[in-house]
Structure 1
Amino acid sequence: MATAARLRTVPPEPSHHDRRRMFLDAGRMYLRILFELEEEGVPARHQELWRRLGASRPTVWQQVDRLVLDGLVEVTPEKHLVLTPRGRADAAAVIRKHRLAEAFLVEVVGLPWDLAHVEASRWQHVIGADAERKIAVRLGNPVWTPFGTPIPPVGATGHEHPGDDGPPLVPLVDAAGDEAARVTLRRVPERLQTDRELLTALEDAGALPGETVEVVRADRRADDVRIAGRYGSVVVPGLVSRSLLVERPDRSRPAGRRRRAHRSRQTR
C-alpha cells in the first residue's frame, strides 16, 4: 500500500540565500528611509525608524548595527543616524528605483497615486539596471514623481538634483493667511504618501502636485488650512499643512504630470 504524503505543519526554514536577500532588502529600505529623513531635515534616530517602518526595536537595532559594520551608517555622539558617503550613494540608487517605479505605476500602468508608493516599495528591490534604464527612457527621463518628490539622477552620490535651482518651496501653512491666496502645490513628502484618505481628498479636490490652488487659514491655533482646487475643497490639519510644500505665485515651474495623475483614478 502506498504511503500517504505527509503535509508540512511548519514552513521550511529559509535558505542562506533567501535570508541574505531578505537582509539586503531590509538594508535598502533602511537606507531609503534615512535618505528621506535627510531630505525632510528630520534628525534620524532609532525611534524614527521604528515609527516609519513599523519594525520592533530589537530588529531596528540589529539592522542599524549591520549597516554601521558595513560602513554605510554612522552613529553620532547624540545618537543620530547619519549616512556615510557610500551609504548616501547607495541610498540614492534605491530612491531612484523607487521613484521611477512610482512614476511608471501611475503614468504607464495607470495605478491610482494613493497606491503607488506602497507598490513601488516592493518594486525597488527587484528592478535591475537594464529595467531601470528602460523605465527611465519610457517615461522621458523624468526628474519628478507624481508626488512632486525629486528623482535622483543616475550615479547620484547625494541629494543633488537637476531641479534644485528652482524657486524655494515653503510649507503650506506659511503660505496661507486670513485672506485667500493662490499657490502651486509642489510636493507631498514621503511620510504622507501612505495616507490614502489624504491623497484621495486632495485628488477629489483637484489639488495634485503641479496644480495651482487657493489656500486660506482655517484654524490659526491648529494651523489647519483650507485648500480649494479645481473640483472642490478640503481642510488639511496642521500636521499635514506643515509638511505639504508649495510654491508662491509668479515662481511657477512646468507642472508636467498633473493631468496624467488625475486620469489614473479613472482606472478603478
Structure 2
Amino acid sequence: MASAARLRTVPPEPSHHDRRRMFLDAGRMYLRILFELEEEGLPARHQELWRRLGASRPTVWQQVDRLVLDGLVEVTPEKHLVLTPRGRADAAAVIRKHRLAETFLLEVVGLPWDLAHVEASRWQHVIGAEAERKMSARLGDPTWTPFGTPIPPVGAAGHEHPGEVGPVLVPLADAVGDETSRVTLRRVPERLQTDRDLLVALEDAGALPGETVAVVRADRRTGDVQLTGTHGSVVVPGPVARSLLVSRLPARRRAPRRRQTR
C-alpha cells in the first residue's frame, strides 16, 4: 500500500537566485524609503527604516551595510543615511514604477485608494521596462499620482520636477486658524498612504487631493484640525495635519472704490 504524502512543515530553502532576488527587492524598498524621506525633508536614520518597514534592527543594519558597500548609500558622522548620486537615480527609477503602478491601480483597475499604495509596493518589483512604458502611455504619461505625489520622469537623476511648477505647498497645520478658512488639499505623502483609516475618512468626507476644503483648528493643545469636504467632516490629528500638504486659495481682490462725482 502506498503511503500517504506528508505535508512539509518546513518550507524549502530558497535557491541562490531566489535569495538574490529577495535581497535586491529589499534593497529597492530601502532606496525608495530613503528617497521619500529626502522628498519630505526628513532626516534618514536606521530607526526610521525599521519603523517604516517593520523589519528587525539587525536586518536593517545588514541591508544598509550592503547598500553602503554597493556605493548607493553613505552614512554621515551624525549617523544620517544619505543616498549617493547613483543611489538616488536608482531610487528615482523605483519611485517611478511605484507611482505609475499606484496611478494605474486607481484610475484603470479601480482599486480603492486605501489599498493602492500597498499593492503598488508589490508591483514595483516586477514591472519591466516595456510594461512601464506601456503603462505610462495608457495613463497619458502622467506627472502626478492621485495622491498628489510627483512621478519622476524616465531617467531622472533625483528629485526632478516632472512638470510645471505648481502652487506653493504648506503643511495643513500651518494653514489653519481659529476661524474657518478654505484651502486646496494637494498631497498625501507616502508615509500616510498606509493609514487606511485616514484615507477612508478623507474619502468619505469628500476631501481628496485636488479638492477645496474648509479647515479650522479643532484643538490648540494637540494641533488637531477639522477638515470639511463636499460630503462631511473629519478631525485630523495634529501629526497628520503637519504632514498633509495644501495650498492656500488666492486672496480675493476688492473692487476699487468709485470716486463720487458731484
TM-score, normalising length: structure 1: 0.91
Partners of 2:4 and 2:235 lie apart in 1 by 63
Q: Per-residue displacement from partner, 1:3-60 (whole Å, max 9, x unpaired)?
A: 6545433221100000000000000000000000000111000000010000000000
SS at match of 1:87: helix
Q: Does 1:8 align with 2:8?
A: yes
SS at match of 1:185: strand
Return the letter of the residue paired with 1:184: T
Partners of 1:231 and 1:6 lie apart in 2 by 56
Q: What is the CA RMSD across the aligned residues, in angstroms?
A: 1.3
Contact 2:184–2:247 (Cα < 8 Å) also in 1 = yes
Return the letter of the residue paired with 1:18: D
Contact 2:216–2:227 (Cα < 8 Å) also in 1 = yes
C-alpha displacement at 1:221, in angstroms? 1.7
Q: Per-residue displacement from partner, 1:67-107 (whole Å, max 9, x unpaired)?
A: 00000000000000000000000000000000000000000
Contact 2:151–2:162 (Cα < 8 Å) also in 1 = no
Partners of 1:113 and 1:7 lie apart in 2 by 38
C-alpha displacement at 1:2, in angstroms? 4.5
1:166–1:7 Cα change, 3 Å? closer
Structure 2 equivalent of residue 174 of structure 1:
174
Structure 2 equivalent of residue 263 of structure 1:
none
Structure 2 equivalent of residue 232 of structure 1:
232
Q: Per-residue displacement from partner, 1:230-253 (whole Å, max 9, x unpaired)?
A: 0111110100000000011039xx
Structure 1 equivalent of residue 216 of structure 2:
216
Partners of 2:100 and 2:216 lie apart in 1 by 33
Structure 2 equivalent of residue 121 of structure 1:
121
Percent identical residues = 86
Structure 2 equivalent of residue 45 of structure 1:
45
C-alpha displacement at 1:166, in angstroms? 1.9
Structure 1 equivalent of residue 31 of structure 2:
31
Structure 1 equivalent of residue 257 of structure 2:
none
Q: Per-residue displacement from partner, 1:133-181 (whole Å, max 9, x unpaired)?
A: 0110000111111111110000000001134622210000111111111
Q: Unpaired segments of 5 or more residues in structure 1?
A: 252-268
Partners of 1:8 and 1:206 lie apart in 2 by 49
Partners of 2:137 and 2:238 lie apart in 1 by 39
Structure 2 equivalent of residue 154 of structure 1:
154
C-alpha displacement at 1:218, in angstroms? 0.8
Contact 2:102–2:145 (Cα < 8 Å) also in 1 = yes
Structure with max Cα Rg: 2
If asked which structure has higher relative contact order (CA below 8 Å, sep 6+), I would say 1
Return the letter of the residue paired with 2:232: G
TM-score, normalising length: structure 2: 0.93
Moved more, 1-10 or 148-157: 1-10
Structure 1 equivalent of residue 137 of structure 2:
137
Q: Unpaired segments of 5 or more residues in structure 2?
A: 252-262
Which runs of at least 4 in structure 1 moved beyond 6 Å after TM superposition? none
